[in-house]
Amino acid sequence: MNWNNWVRQIHRWLSIAFTVAVIVNIVAMGQEEPAVSVSLLAPFPLALILFTGLYLFVLPYATKWRSGRRTDWTGDRPYDSPQMGYMRIIPTRRR
C-alpha cells in the first residue's frame, strides 16, 4: 500500500473516531453534571482530519503540477483545454 492509500485510510478511521467522540460528547452533555474532559475528545481527531483532508484535497493538483501537464496547452479559452474531456471540432475544407 502506498503513502496516499495510507493517508486515505487514516482519514476514514479518524472520521469514524470523530463521529464517536461527538456522540459521546452529546450523551455526556445530557447528564446533570457534564465532565469537561469529555468535551475535549472531539478536537483531537478533528485536527488530524483537517490535515489529512487538506493533503487529500491538494493531492490531485500536486500530481498534475509534478507531471508537467500545466504547460500542455496554450489556449486562451477554457473550452480549448484538453483537460475538459472534449476537444473543439475544427471544420476542415473538402477538396
State the cell numbers at 63: 500530481
DSSP state of 33: S
Q: Note the pLDDT of residue 87.
A: 53
Per-position pLDDT tens, the chain of length 95: 788 899 999 999 999 999 999 999 988 888 888 777 888 888 999 999 999 999 999 998 888 888 875 554 555 555 555 555 555 556 666 66
From CA 44, how far away is CA 38, in angstroms rounded? 12
From CA 79, how far away is CA 8, in angstroms rounded? 32
Query: What pTM did the predictor assign?
Result: 0.62
